[in-house]
């Protein structure tokens, strides 16, 4: 095993709860964002779905997913998650009643909290 000085290979943290919350927020982003953009342009609505689903599918950090199409560093994976969270929150406030958007916002905040271990791993591991 070759390992450079200062580089440690850490096991990926168990993120079952975080992944369930992350997926819930992603679903909201996939629904609410095109809904919000459809009033402006159906083309923007379609492009938003392609980007919100396609980018995380194509770009991932090795070790974070079983199948990596295009490998990116951990910080890029974190930015893609933040994009999903921001899209879900902003779009839900644009198109849904306040109580629903408030639940989305609360879920997003909890997701940010539960993602901390995974993000730390993405930033510090040799993945």
Per-residue pLDDT tens digits for 96-117:
999 999 999 999 999 999 999 9
Which of 75-79, 90-94, 104-108, 122-126 shows the lowest mean pLDDT across its residues?
122-126
Check whether 5 has a pLDDT greater than 70: no
Question: Where do the H-state alpha helices sit in 39-97?
Answer: 42-58, 74-95
Per-residue pLDDT tens digits for 11-58:
778 888 899 999 999 999 999 999 999 999 999 999 999 999 999 999
What letters, b where the CB count within 10 A reaches 16 and e where it falls short, cover 26-55? bebbbbbbbbbbeeeeeeebeebbeebeeb
Check whether 7 has a pLDDT greater than 60: no
Domain extents in the chain:
17-124
Cβ-contact 29, 101 below 8 angstroms: no
Q: What is the mean pLDDT of the chain?
A: 90
**How much is the average pLDDT of 68-80?**
94
pLDDT of the residue at 4: 46
Please identify which residue in the block is written with the tokens 């997003």: 108
pLDDT of the residue at 40: 93
DSSP state for residue 15 in the 8-state scheme? -
pLDDT of the residue at 2: 43
**How much is the average pLDDT of 60-74?**
90
Tokens of 48: 């938003």
């Amino acid at each position: 095993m070759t390992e450079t000085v200062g580089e440690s290979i850490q096991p990926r943290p168990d993120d079952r709860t975080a992944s369930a919350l992350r997926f819930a927020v992603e679903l909201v982003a996939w629904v609410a964002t095109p809904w919000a953009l459809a009033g402006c342009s159906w083309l923007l609505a379609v492009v938003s779905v392609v980007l919100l689903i396609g980018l995380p599918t194509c770009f991932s950090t090795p070790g974070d997913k079983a199948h990596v199409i295009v490998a990116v560093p951990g910080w890029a994976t974190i930015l893609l998650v933040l994009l999903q969270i921001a899209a879900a929150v902003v779009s839900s406030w644009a198109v849904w009643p306040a109580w629903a958007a408030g639940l989305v916002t609360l879920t997003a905040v909890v997701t940010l909290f539960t993602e901390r271990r995974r993000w730390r791993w993405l930033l510090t591991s040799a993945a």
